[in-house]
Structure 1
């Protein structure tokens, strides 16, 4: 379940900050043996500046401190050719650390609590990870865990 590159779909996802639960995709970026999952909850909310030509992949604009990874709708991104049904975005500031025990307690049964959608292709996973790591908006602790020297 916590293999880096896995895309999970929670039905519903319970937000740690108390926001109302809703169905949500979840991409695992890192997981250690015991306690920690580093992941992102991709969103369909487009915050890309209007003047930017959207192209699948990392969009980096250091001059305005903007970074995101953009997934085109229905573009195959997994080993078995699955793609997000809508345009989807990963923003560095939304990458978070999650407690593995809480996940084990809340999402115990695949097919009931969550579905495994697939695994990002190696290329897609590597590009997403590099994009998140170079984002100045990603928390320092997370960048350090992902292997960025700070």
Structure 2
């Protein structure tokens, strides 16, 4: 379930900061600490990229405005099982976080009810995402080292 590149859809996802739970996609970026923790991203459809920046797919690392993001255009096939996000999706470097696998397993016990495995990202796309995050200036150094 927590293999690198796996996209999980939680319904609902319980945020670490206490924000209201809601359905969310979750991309596993890296397992570490003897597979007891993972680094993951909660992709969003919210665009915070300035309108003057014209990019609709791939890596954006803009040091001038301190914005690092990987963009996946809507309906682009992203998984090995041929699935896509129905909307343009943004993975912001500053929003990746670490999670305890034990806590995730405790909170989401029932596949098909609490979560579904959306699919495993295509290797090339996942590699491009990781490369983008590693070159990000907004990602914490501890995450860069782990990735």
Same fold by TM-score, threshold 0.5 exceeded? yes
CA RMSD of superposed structures (Å): 1.0
2:14 equivalent to 1:14: yes
Alignment match, 1:134: 135
Distance 1:113 1:85 in 2: 21
2:31 equivalent to 1:31: yes
Distance 1:57 1:81 in 2: 18
- Residues 50-98 of structure 1: CA distance to partner in whole angstroms, max 9, x if unpaired? 1111231111222322210001011111112211111110000000001
1:1-150 → structure 2 map (5 Å cutoff): 1-32=1-32, 33-146=34-147
Distance 1:64 1:97 in 2: 25
Q: Which runs of 5+ in 1 are unaligned?
A: none
Q: Which runs of 5+ in 2 are unaligned?
A: none
Distance 2:122 2:84 in 1: 11
Check whether the contact 2:73–2:88 (CA below 8 A) recurs between aligned residues: yes
Q: Under a length normalisation based on structure 1, what TM-score does the superposition of the two structures give? A: 0.93
